[in-house]
Amino acid sequence: MLKITEILTEYRKNPIGIDIEKPRFSWKLESEANDVIQEAYQIAVKNGGNITWDSGKIESNQSVLVEYSGEKLLPMTKYTVNVITWDNQSESASSSSSFETGLMGKIRATWITHELPDDEQACPVFKKEFTCKKEIASARIYSTSLGIYDLELNGKRVLDEYFSPGWTSYNNRLQYQTYDVIEYLKESNEIKATVANGWYKGNLAYEKRINIYGNKAAVLLELHITYSDDTKDIIMTDGSWMYATGEVRYSEIYHGETIDKTYEPAEWFYAHTYDHGKDVIVAQESEPVRIVKRIPAKELITTPKGETVIDFGQNLTGFVEFVCEFDKGTEIVLKHAEVLDNEGNFYLDNIRAAKATDRFITSGKMDIYRPRFTFHGFRYVLIKGIKKKIDISSMRACVLHTDMKETGSFECSNELVNQLQHNIQWGQRGNFLDIPTDCPQRDERLGWTGDAQVFASTAAYNFNTALFFAKWLKDLAADQGKNGEVPFVVPDALIRKDGKVPSSAAWGDAAVIIPWTIYRAYGDRKILEDQYESMTAWVDYLAAEAGSLYLWKTGSHFGDWLGLDMEQYFTYQKFCVDAATGSTDKYYIASAFFAYSTEIMEKTAEELGKHDDGRKYKRLHKNIVKAFQNEYITPNGRLVCETQTGMLLALKFNLVNERHRELIAERLVNNIKRHNMQMVTGFVGASYLCPVLTEAGYHDIAGELLLQTKYPSWLYPVTKGATTIWERWNGIKPDGSFENPEMNSFNHYAYGAIGDWLYRKLLGISEIKPGYKEIKISPMPISGIEFMEGSYETPYGKVSVSWKRKEDAFEIDVNIPVNTQARIEFSSSKPGVTVGSGEYHYE
Positions marked catalytic: 444, 727
Nearest to 499 by CA among 481, 521, 478: 481
d(Cα 191, Cα 183) in Å, to the nearest integer? Answer: 13
Beta carbons within 8 Å of 111's beta carbon, 6+ residues apart: 146, 218, 219, 220, 237, 273, 274, 275, 276, 278
H or E segment at 599? helix 586-607
**Phi, psi dihedrals of residue 537, rounded to the nearest 5°:** -60, -40
Beta carbons within 8 Å of 721's beta carbon, 6+ residues apart: none
d(Cα 2, Cα 555) in Å, to the nearest integer? Answer: 58
**Cis check: omega of the bond before 691, within 30 degrees of 0:** no
CB 798 within 8 A of CB 817: yes
What are the counts of helices (DSSP H) followed by strands (DSSP E) for the chain?
A: 14, 47
Question: Which DSSP state fits 778?
Answer: -
The amino acid at residue 36 is V
d(Cα 295, Cα 310) in Å, to the nearest integer? Answer: 12
**Cis check: omega of the bond before 304, within 30 degrees of 0:** no
d(Cα 125, Cα 130) in Å, to the nearest integer? Answer: 17
- String of DSSP letters for 559-595: -STTBSS--EEEEETTEEEEE-B-SS-HHHHHHHHHH
Residue 698 CB neighbour total at 10 angstroms: 19
Residue 670 CB neighbour total at 10 angstroms: 11
d(Cα 184, Cα 172) in Å, to the nearest integer? Answer: 33
The amino acid at residue 207 is E
d(Cα 360, Cα 440) in Å, to the nearest integer? Answer: 22
C-alpha distances in angstroms, 665 versus 74, 605, 788? 59, 31, 28
Dihedral angle of Cα 716, 722, 723, 727, to the nearest 10 degrees: -80
d(Cα 305, Cα 283) in Å, to the nearest integer? Answer: 50
Say if residue 618 is exposed, middle or buried (CB neighbours under 10 Å; 0-12, 13-18, 19+): middle
d(Cα 506, Cα 471) in Å, to the nearest integer? Answer: 20
Nearest to 202 by CA among 216, 188, 186, 190: 216
- String of DSSP letters for 277-309: --TTEEE--SPPEEEEEEEE--EEEE-TT--EE
Beta carbons within 8 Å of 124's beta carbon, 6+ residues apart: 113, 114, 116, 194, 195, 217, 243, 244, 245, 246
Give the angle 438-439-443 at the CA atoms, nearest 5°.
Answer: 105
d(Cα 400, Cα 380) in Å, to the nearest integer? Answer: 16
CB 672 within 8 A of CB 689: no
The amino acid at residue 2 is L
d(Cα 763, Cα 785) in Å, to the nearest integer? Answer: 11
H or E segment at 204? none
CB 293 within 8 A of CB 399: yes
